[in-house]
């Protein structure tokens, strides 16, 4: 400022080169500025299956399931859902407590191209009915023990353990587009009325790029993401 007293203040940088370098490193600017090709969740899941089909994908209450097993069983359920009308632009309700079956159902819905609508069985009846009426899922996947929570609701229900699922082909399906809706989350809403928020596949998969902070993952290491419910 003293060397160039006529220079406009907005043209003067308050940081030096070393300070800029520190900020770039702390802010992980190299990763944030990198171009990203949008992909859907099933595409990234498929890469995990191809890379390590025998690696454990799900653990719950002493039970484990490999990526290869999860891939096959979710393909079978996805074909059932497609037969019920599930696909891009639609949604499928999931009424589960935390379980391995819930993960299978989530992956299956994503593979069908539809968005999944998580429904907490602990919600009041009025809340469940509102979500079903507002989101209008083509079908709801649940368990025999929870099916009663949907009695009287005008919606088709599929038991995740239905023997008919095993008769479907376990081969892969075409992946949905990155801009397709992956899941719908209902918030409490500022007015007290629940509001559905649509989250695209790319909204989710971009998180993997955001987690790239220079940590190299080995063959047995995977990121873990928790999806509702």
Q: What is the pLDDT along the chain (229 residues), one digit of tens a residue?
A: 888 889 898 888 888 889 999 988 888 777 667 667 789 999 999 999 999 999 999 999 888 999 999 999 999 999 999 999 999 999 999 999 999 999 999 999 999 999 999 999 999 999 999 999 999 999 999 999 999 999 989 999 999 999 999 999 999 999 999 999 999 999 876 777 888 999 999 988 887 665 454 444 454 454 444 444 3
Q: How far apart are CA 75 and CA 81, in angstroms?
A: 10
DSSP the chain: --S-TTS-GGGS-SS-HHHHHHHHHHTTHHHHTS------HHHHHHHHHHH-TTSEEEEETTEEEEHHHHHHHHHHHHHHHHHTT--TT-EEEEE--SSHHHHHHHHHHHHHTPEEEEE-TTS-HHHHHHHHHHH--SEEEE-TTTGGGGTT-SS-EEETT-GGGGGS--S--PPPPTTSEEEEEEE--TTSS-EEEEEEHHHHHHHHHHT-SSPPP-TT---------
Give residue limits of the domains in the chain: 38-210
Q: What is the pLDDT of residue 27?
A: 82
Topology, domain 38-210 = Rossmann fold (3.40.50)
């Amino acid at each position: 400022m003293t060397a160039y007293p006529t220079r406009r203040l907005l043209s003067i940088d308050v940081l030096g080169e070393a300070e800029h370098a520190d900020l770039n490193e702390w802010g992980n600017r190299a990763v944030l500025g990198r171009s990203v090709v949008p992909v859907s969740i099933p595409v990234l899941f498929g890469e995990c299956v191809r890379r390590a089909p025998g690696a454990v994908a799900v653990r719950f209450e002493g039970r484990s399931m490999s990526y290869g097993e999860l891939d096959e069983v979710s393909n079978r359920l996805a074909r059932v859902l497609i037969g019920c009308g599930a696909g891009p632009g639609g949604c499928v309700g999931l009424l589960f407590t935390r379980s391995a079956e819930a993960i299978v159902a989530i992956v299956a819905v994503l593979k069908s191209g539809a968005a999944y609508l998580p429904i907490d069985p602990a919600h009041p009846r009025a809340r469940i009915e509102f979500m079903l009426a507002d989101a209008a899922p083509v079908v709801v996947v649940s368990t025999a023990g929870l099916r009663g929570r949907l009695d009287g609701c005008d919606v088709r229900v599929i038991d995740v353990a239905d023997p008919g699922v095993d008769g479907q082909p376990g081969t892969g399906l075409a992946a949905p587009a990155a801009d397709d809706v992956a899941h719908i989350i209902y918030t409490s809403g500022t007015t007290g009325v629940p509001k559905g928020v649509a989250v695209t596949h790319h909204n989710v998969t971009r998180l993997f790029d955001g987690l790239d902070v220079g940590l190299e993952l080995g063959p047995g290491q995977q990121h873990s993401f928790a999806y509702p419910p």
